[in-house]
Structure 1
Amino acid sequence: MGKQLTAGDICKRKVTVGYKQTSLVAAAQLMREDHVGSLVVVDDENGSRQVRGLVTDRDIVMSVVATGLDPEPLRLEDIMSEHVVTANEADSLLDLMRSMREHGVRRVPVVGFQDELMGIVTMDDVLKILAQEMNTLVGSIDVGIKQERARRQ
């Protein structure tokens, strides 16, 4: 058997981050530039980035645009989710999926031993891994069929 995949193995290490005082307009522009649907809100403490919140493109639309608020004076701290579901680098892929399901989240920041931000895993990342694993299983079916045909000739 192969090694069990962990959150640390599959997370993207380049994370687009913002700070509580980052303007909402600047945050939206950063999300657009980096082609991401979320920002992890962090504080820099003792040289490490500590997760303080999460803001998604949906948060901006639902909390600001759809309610007719002026985004100009708003900061990330005004709309960020403060109770962020995180995963430890050592958490298994299965534990990560269970946590995403249990909390109904699509994005999970990955933290290290001292709760410092190490990466982020999205539902898309998990689905790609699962699709690759399913493809491997399909390949084993094809090999089995070919081997059986060769034995019967």
Structure 2
Amino acid sequence: MGERLTTGEICTRDVSFALRAMPLNEAARLMRENHVGSLVVVDELAGQRIVVGLLTDRDIVTAVVAAGVDPGMLNVGEVMSTDLVTAREDDSLIDLMRVMRRQGVRRVPVVGGQGELIGLATLDDVLAVLSEELALLVAAIGTEGQRERRMRPGA
């Protein structure tokens, strides 16, 4: 990782995705099989996966199950969130955290210049990086005391 962490460096690149026309119950099964809480919804155009939405387990529960709708009658495109928040691969970690906070989202698809799917950045990814950075700061505090004892023995 570089000194300026980018969204592309911290995102997960092996992303579970679905097409709009996929039956909703098949999408739910895919989530279960892949142990994920969301699927990035894409359109396949000219060999690229263009991000068009996000389907979360919460979308399925609130829009379908709680409403008493038969999930077997719906497809992903009818339930997915289309007010999509994305990040560019070269956005900074700070930019990513700001957009997550401002938009109130935990998952952000990472896209390239054509809107193509690069990865998925999650709050878990951000927390893992930040905890690593905090551990480095804690280690620096411990090292400072050791340095002081070496430089001024008996003081």
- Structure 1 runs not aligned, ≥5 long: none
* Residue equivalent to 1:75: 75
Partner of 1:55: helix, strand, or coil? Answer: strand
Whole-Å Cα distance in 2 between the matches of residues 77 and 44 of structure 1?
Answer: 14
Shift of 1:145: 1.0
Shift of 1:151: 2.4
Shift of 1:57: 0.6
- Structure 2 runs not aligned, ≥5 long: none
Counterpart residue type for residue 54 of structure 1: L
Whole-Å Cα distance in 1 between the matches of residues 83 and 17 of structure 2?
Answer: 16
Taking structure 2 as the reference length, what is the TM-score of the superposition? 0.95
Shift of 1:150: 2.3
Pairs within 5 Å for 1:109-124 = 109-124=109-124
Partner of 1:72: helix, strand, or coil? Answer: helix
Deviation string, structure 1 residues 46-72 (Cα, Å, up to 9, x no partner): 111001110101111111111211111
Whole-Å Cα distance in 1 between the matches of residues 141 and 73 of structure 2?
Answer: 58
Whole-Å Cα distance in 1 between the matches of residues 84 and 96 of structure 2?
Answer: 14
Whether 1:145 aligns to 2:142 is: no
Pairs within 5 Å for 1:1-153 = 3-153=3-153
Taking structure 1 as the reference length, what is the TM-score of the superposition? 0.96
Whole-Å Cα distance in 2 between the matches of residues 51 and 84 of structure 1?
Answer: 9
Shift of 1:152: 2.7
Partner of 1:83: helix, strand, or coil? Answer: coil
The list of structure 1 runs, each at least 4 consecutive aligned residues, that deviate by more than 6 angstroms after superposition, is none
Shift of 1:121: 0.3
Whole-Å Cα distance in 1 between the matches of residues 117 and 87 of structure 2?
Answer: 10
Q: What is the aligned-residue RMSD (CA, Å)? A: 0.9
Partner of 2:44: helix, strand, or coil? Answer: strand
Shift of 1:128: 0.6
Whole-Å Cα distance in 1 between the matches of residues 121 and 35 of structure 2?
Answer: 15
Whole-Å Cα distance in 1 between the matches of residues 133 and 6 of structure 2?
Answer: 14
In the alignment of these two chains, the number of paired residues is: 152
Whole-Å Cα distance in 2 between the matches of residues 77 and 8 of structure 1?
Answer: 27
Whole-Å Cα distance in 2 between the matches of residues 18 and 25 of structure 1?
Answer: 12
